[in-house]
Amino acid sequence: MGFLGKDILLYMWSKFTLNGMCYNLSRDCFNRNARLNAVLPGMIETRFYRGVRIVNF
């Protein structure tokens, strides 16, 4: 149970990072109103994220 706090912080940081990547991805696609409800494992093909693999958390 000693690692529970660290696990929660790591989970929150991962979700924060994923949200930031989703925002940048929607901005890269020239649609600031885009909302990504789910990110599935696979390759992303945009200008800045070409070949980046995102997995679910």
* Predicted pLDDT of residue 56: 46
Rounded distance between C-alpha atoms, residue 52 and residue 20, angstroms: 14
Side chain identity, residue 22: C
In terms of pLDDT, which residue wins out, 8 or 38?
8
Q: Greater confidence, 4 or 38?
A: 4
Percentage, residues of the chain above pLDDT 70: 0
Please tell me the distance from the alpha carbon of residue 25 to that of residue 36, in angstroms, as a whole number: 9
Q: What is the pLDDT of residue 52?
A: 52
Q: Where are the domains of the chain?
A: 4-54
Mean pLDDT of 36-54: 53
Q: What is the pTM of this model?
A: 0.29
Flag whether pLDDT at 54 surpasses 60: no
